[in-house]
């Protein structure tokens, strides 16, 4: 009998190449602005904190996660106006992606529906197939300025008896929007009226521009026990490879999330100890990153808007640009493929974020330095392989298309 008959039915199908084998060796002259992997080196005091914790013997089981870390997380989140009980409402996860899995693993039965906006972050919905759940896209609409905003009427139409959850990122990736209080209230009302859960991915809350303010949807009335907040050190502290995140939810819902038997808390205790140090401040490192990101954004938005057939608004949050390329006449996948072929610049087609509304756009992650910056020695880029060079390549490409 075949092995396939022995695996969970949702994951049967032709054998695909395992993700581990998709690690492409990039030629040296490629610039990739695809993944959102912050290009900062962690400050030395973080490495010191990890080292110290190992030497002090924090290498034993830490069942359920370090209570001090949970306190530091609750203290941090308070600045957004919501006070969580550390022991009853915080769960430590191995990064945001494990948090997303754990959230879905708590709530989904086969046949359930989950709504995600078009466009939205693919990692927020890729686990659905495994759970036998159905993904339903709800289209966003662009306002006069060119910002994606939620279309509450469209969202309402997508809700059925089977709707179990809405997945959203705030600030948005790739949209770069920060939800207004009115938008969040409209979503919360739907969640309460139609009895679904909001999975609120809040990974970019430290990177908000132009005076916008992050409001957690969990802080709205009666939303505690129907919100699962996903956060991580990943972007905030350039901590991607250190795999540290958390879930904040209502006390009741948290007790269910804790029942998913993903194993003993996955974040090594020494890394948890370092996260406590990081979250307790100082925040200079985070503020320094934010200043650098905003400089990159301002530079690139200006450059993009000077290119033929490209329109780009300054995001309200996060460090992605999602310019409209529809006037070039190319589909986003074709645009990206040709760009890579001609200019060895890798960015992501908008269709990866949403088939209808995301199409016509491309996502550019501003994780590479401007050439004027002094990079730490470990960050091995040649002076010409920078954001400035990337914009030059994109400009040359869009000009060639316009001919």
Give the nearest distance from C-beta 357 to a second copy in angstroms: 24
**Residue 362 and residue 353: Cα distance in Å, rounded?**
9
Give the nearest distance from C-beta 365 to a second copy in angstroms: 12
Residue of 29, 59, 288, 402 interacting with a second copy (CB under 8 A): 59
* Site for a second copy contains 24 (CB under 8 A): no
Residues listed for the chain: 403
* Site for a second copy contains 221 (CB under 8 A): no
Number of residues forming the site for a second copy (CB under 8 A): 98
Give the nearest distance from C-beta 305 to a second copy in angstroms: 30
**Which residue's CB is nearer to a second copy, number 71 or number 395?**
71
Question: Greatest CA span in the chain, whole angstroms?
Answer: 65
Residues 81-100 touching a second copy, rule: CB under 8 A, are 87-88, 91, 93-100
Contact status, residue 361 vs residue 350, Cβ threshold 8 Å? yes
Residue of 29, 78, 83, 126 interacting with a second copy (CB under 8 A): 126
Binding mask 152-191 for a second copy (x = CB under 8 A): ------------x---------------------------
Residues 269-308 touching a second copy, rule: CB under 8 A, are 269-271
Among 39, 40, 45, 36, residue whose Cα is nearest residue 278: 45
Q: What is the CA radius of gyration of the chain?
A: 21
Binding mask 367-396 for a second copy (x = CB under 8 A): ---------x-xx-----------------
* Site for a second copy contains 349 (CB under 8 A): no
DSSP letter (8 states) at residue 208:
B
**Residue 302 and residue 359: Cα distance in Å, rounded?**
22
Residue of 71, 266, 338, 392 interacting with a second copy (CB under 8 A): 266
Q: Give, in order, the Cα–Cα distances in Å from 63 to each of 163, 185, 265.
A: 34, 37, 6
**Residue 90 and residue 245: Cα distance in Å, rounded?**
10
**Which residue's CB is nearer to a second copy, number 255 or number 342?**
255
**Residue 375 and residue 64: Cα distance in Å, rounded?**
38
Contact status, residue 365 vs residue 32, Cβ threshold 8 Å? no
Strand partners, 362: 349
Residue of 72, 197, 208, 229 interacting with a second copy (CB under 8 A): 197
| Alpha carbon of residue 225 to chain centroid | 22
**Which residue's CB is nearer to a second copy, number 228 or number 325?**
228
* Site for a second copy contains 7 (CB under 8 A): yes
Residue of 264, 291, 356, 402 interacting with a second copy (CB under 8 A): 264
Give the nearest distance from C-beta 57 to a second copy in angstroms: 4
Q: Which stretch binds a second copy (CB under 8 A): 6-14, 277-285, 335-343, 390-398?
A: 6-14
Among 54, 82, 48, 84, residue whose Cα is nearest residue 69: 84
* Site for a second copy contains 317 (CB under 8 A): no
Q: Name 240's Cβ contacts closer than 8 Å, sequence gap at least 6.
A: 37, 38, 95, 234
**Which residue's CB is nearer to a second copy, number 12 or number 287?**
12
Residue of 31, 65, 188, 365 interacting with a second copy (CB under 8 A): 65
**Residue 134 and residue 112: Cα distance in Å, rounded?**
6
- Dihedral of CA 101/332/318/190: which sign? negative
**Residue 105 and residue 253: Cα distance in Å, rounded?**
12
Residue of 27, 28, 60, 145 interacting with a second copy (CB under 8 A): 60
Residues 233-262 touching a second copy, rule: CB under 8 A, are 238-244, 250, 252-256, 258-262
- The pair of structure tokens assigned to 367 is 């994780």
Give the nearest distance from C-beta 13 to a second copy in angstroms: 9
Q: Name 392's Cβ contacts closer than 8 Å, sequence gap at least 6.
A: none
**Which residue's CB is nearer to a second copy, number 7 or number 356?**
7
* Site for a second copy contains 127 (CB under 8 A): yes
* Site for a second copy contains 67 (CB under 8 A): yes
């Amino acid at each position: 009998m075949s092995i396939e008959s022995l695996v969970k039915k949702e994951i049967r199908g032709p054998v695909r190449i395992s993700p581990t084998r998709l690690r492409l060796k990039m030629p040296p002259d490629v610039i990739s602005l695809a993944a959102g992997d912050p290009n900062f080196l962690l400050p030395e005091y973080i490495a010191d904190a990890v080292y110290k914790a190992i030497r002090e013997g924090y290498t034993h089981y830490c069942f359920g996660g370090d209570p001090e870390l949970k306190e530091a997380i609750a203290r941090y989140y308070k600045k957004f106006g919501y006070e969580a009980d550390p022991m009853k409402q915080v769960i430590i996860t191995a990064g945001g992606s494990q948090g997303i899995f754990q959230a879905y693993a708590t709530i989904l039965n086969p046949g359930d529906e989950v709504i995600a906006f078009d466009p939205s972050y693919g990692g927020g919905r890729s686990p659905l197939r495994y759970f036998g759940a159905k993904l339903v896209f709800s289209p966003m609409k662009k306002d006069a300025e060119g910002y994606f905003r939620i279309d509450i009427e469209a969202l309402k139409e997508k809700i059925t008896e089977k709707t179990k959850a809405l997945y959203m990122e705030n600030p948005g990736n790739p949209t770069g929007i920060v939800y207004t209080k009115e938008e969040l209230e409209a979503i919360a009302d739907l969640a309460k009226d139609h009895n679904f859960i909001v999975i609120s991915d809040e990974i970019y809350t430290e990177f908000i521009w132009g005076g916008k303010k992050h409001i957690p949807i969990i802080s709205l009335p009666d939303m505690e026990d129907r919100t699962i907040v996903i956060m991580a050190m990943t972007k905030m502290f350039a901590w991607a490879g250190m795999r540290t995140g958390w879930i904040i939810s209502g006390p009741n819902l948290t007790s269910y999330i804790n029942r998913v038997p993903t194993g003993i808390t996955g974040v090594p205790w020494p890394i948890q100890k370092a996260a406590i140090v990081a979250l307790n401040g100082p925040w200079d490192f985070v503020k320094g990153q934010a200043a650098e990101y905003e400089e990159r954004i301002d530079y690139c938005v200006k450059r993009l808007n000077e290119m033929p057939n490209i329109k780009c608004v300054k995001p309200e949050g996060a460090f992605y640009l999602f310019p409209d390329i529809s006037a070039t006449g190319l589909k986003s996948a074709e645009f990206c493929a040709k760009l890579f072929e001609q200019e060895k610049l890798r960015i992501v087609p908008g269709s990866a974020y949403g088939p209808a509304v995301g199409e016509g756009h491309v996502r550019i992650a501003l994780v590479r330095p401007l050439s004027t910056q002094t990079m730490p020695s470990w960050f091995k880029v040649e002076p010409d392989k920078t954001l400035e060079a990337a914009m030059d390549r994109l400009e040359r490409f869009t000009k060639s298309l316009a001919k």
